Amino acid sequence: MTGYWVHPMREYVAEFGPWVQVYFIEMIVFGNFLLLNLFLAIVLQNVHEVETNRTDAERKAKEEK
């Protein structure tokens, strides 16, 4: 569940001190935030396309009547 970042983090902590943990935690939080935003952007883009296609189809149906 934790991925492969724990072992390198422990090696860096042993080499450079405990403040390296702050860097790793910040990078994990930032990375998760970035992935969440990318996922939401894709979902919202697809929802927008579906809505646009639906309104275009409704507009064409009204024009044909």
If one compares 65 and 51, the residue with the highest pLDDT of the two is 51
- 27-31, 39-43, 54-58: the lowest-pLDDT one: 54-58
pLDDT band at 1 (very low <50, low <70, confident <90, very high): low
For residue 47, the model assigns a pLDDT of 96
Average pLDDT over the chain reads: 90
Encoded amino acid at 36, one letter: L
* Residues in contact with 20: Cβ distance below 8 Å, sequence separation at least 6, in sequence order: 9, 12, 13
Asked whether residue 2 carries a pLDDT value surpassing 70, the answer given is no
**Buried residues in 11-43 as b, exposed as e (16+ CB within 10 A):** eeeeeeeeebeeebeeeeeeeeeeeeeeeeeee
Instruction: Tell whether the model's pLDDT for residue 65 goes beyond 90.
Output: no
